[in-house]
């Protein structure tokens, strides 16, 4: 057995206390996201894990990139027919998770999801490099494919088809807006007495509570 019992870290970078936090969690997110974006040891501040519940009741987690956040919530882009797309179609819910180790911070977001307007997805799709646009069009995300050559062949065909022309956004590719109804901010503290502040939406107001670590 490879035991990791002695692998432990002291958390002492910062604190999260009621008198200093924002009353709106999206504003608190903004503060923390800016800190993470400015920290040179965080390589992709906008990488987040997203968990959805599968048909067998088991959650499934994978990384995606946050591409925008607004006063309403968090936007990312994917294939609507992917495993996550199908799970979102069923439950309209997901859990997003950020962990920025160098800041000793995590954020857990429970959200209701909806597709963003087509013109927003078009705008983002066409802002990506042409190779990424073609890659998205070539990949039946989450489907079993015979081999890698199948995908490369498909990409080659599409490169030829759209040479000198704009690649249309595939109808099954676009953005989701995750509208939070619960957001927990976790700040590592000494002696495992970490700070956990949770915001829960009650009507139009955010109720703020502290959770034991």
Ligand X SMILES: Cc1cc2nc3c(=O)[nH]c(=O)nc-3n(C[C@H](O)[C@H](O)[C@H](O)COP(=O)(O)O)c2cc1C
Residues that bind ligand X (CB under 6 A): 44, 47, 60, 62-65, 76-79, 82-84, 141-142
State how far the Cα of 28 lies from the Cα of 173, in Å rounded to an integer. Answer: 30
Give the gyration radius of the chain's Cα atoms.
20
DSSP 3-state of 64: strand
In the bound complex, what is the minimum distance in angstroms from residue 56's beta carbon to ligand X?
14
Q: What are the start-end ranges of the E strands in 70-172? A: 74-79, 93-100, 105-115
In the bound complex, what is the minimum distance in angstroms from residue 134's beta carbon to ligand X?
15
Instruction: Report whether 82 belongs to an annotated binding site.
Output: no
Instruction: Report whether 160 belongs to an annotated binding site.
Output: no
Residue closer to ligand X (CB basis): 15 or 127:
127
In the bound complex, what is the minimum distance in angstroms from residue 50's beta carbon to ligand X?
8
Residue closer to ligand X (CB basis): 44 or 152:
44
Angle at Cα 192 formed by Cα 202 and Cα 7, nearest 5°? 125
Length of the chain (residues): 213
- Per the CB < 8 A criterion, the answer to whether 151 and 145 are in contact is yes
Q: What are the start-end ranges of the E strands in 70-193? A: 74-79, 93-100, 105-115, 173-187
- Per the CB < 8 A criterion, the answer to whether 111 and 74 are in contact is yes
DSSP 3-state of 47: strand
Residue closer to ligand X (CB basis): 52 or 187:
52
**Known catalytic residues?**
192
State how far the Cα of 191 lies from the Cα of 106, in Å rounded to an integer. Answer: 17
Instruction: Report whether 162 belongs to an annotated binding site.
Output: no
In the bound complex, what is the minimum distance in angstroms from residue 32's beta carbon to ligand X?
19
Residue closer to ligand X (CB basis): 42 or 47:
47
Instruction: Report whether 48 belongs to an annotated binding site.
Output: no
Instruction: Report whether 62 belongs to an annotated binding site.
Output: yes
State how far the Cα of 144 lies from the Cα of 131, in Å rounded to an integer. Answer: 22
Residues in the annotated binding site for FMN: 62-67, 77-78, 83-84, 106, 141-142, 186, 196
Annotated binding-site ranges: 8-11, 62-67, 77-78, 83-84, 106, 124, 128, 132, 141-142, 186, 192-194, 196
């Amino acid at each position: 057995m490879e035991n990791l019992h002695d692998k432990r870290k002291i958390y002492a970078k910062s604190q999260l206390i009621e008198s200093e936090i924002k009353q709106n969690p999206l504003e608190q997110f903004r503060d923390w996201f800016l800190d993470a974006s400015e920290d040179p040891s965080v390589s992709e501040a906008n990488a987040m894990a997203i968990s959805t519940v599968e048909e067998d009741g088991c959650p499934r987690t994978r990384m995606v990139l946050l591409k925008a956040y607004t006063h309403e919530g968090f936007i990312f882009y994917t294939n609507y027919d992917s495993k996550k797309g199908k799970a979102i179609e069923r439950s309209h819910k997901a859990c997003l998770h950020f962990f920025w180790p160098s800041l000793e911070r995590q954020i857990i977001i429970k959200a209701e999801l909806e597709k963003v307007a087509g013109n927003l997805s078009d705008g983002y799709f066409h802002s990506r490099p042409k190779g990424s646009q073609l890659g998205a069009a070539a990949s039946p995300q989450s489907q079993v494919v015979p081999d890698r050559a199948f995908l490369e062949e498909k990409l080659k065909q599409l490169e030829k088809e759209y040479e000198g022309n704009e690649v249309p956004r595939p109808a099954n590719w676009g953005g989701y807006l995750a509208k939070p109804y619960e957001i927990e901010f976790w700040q590592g503290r000494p002696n495992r007495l970490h700070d956990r502040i949770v915001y829960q939406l009650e009507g139009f107001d955010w109720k703020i509570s502290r959770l034991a670590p």
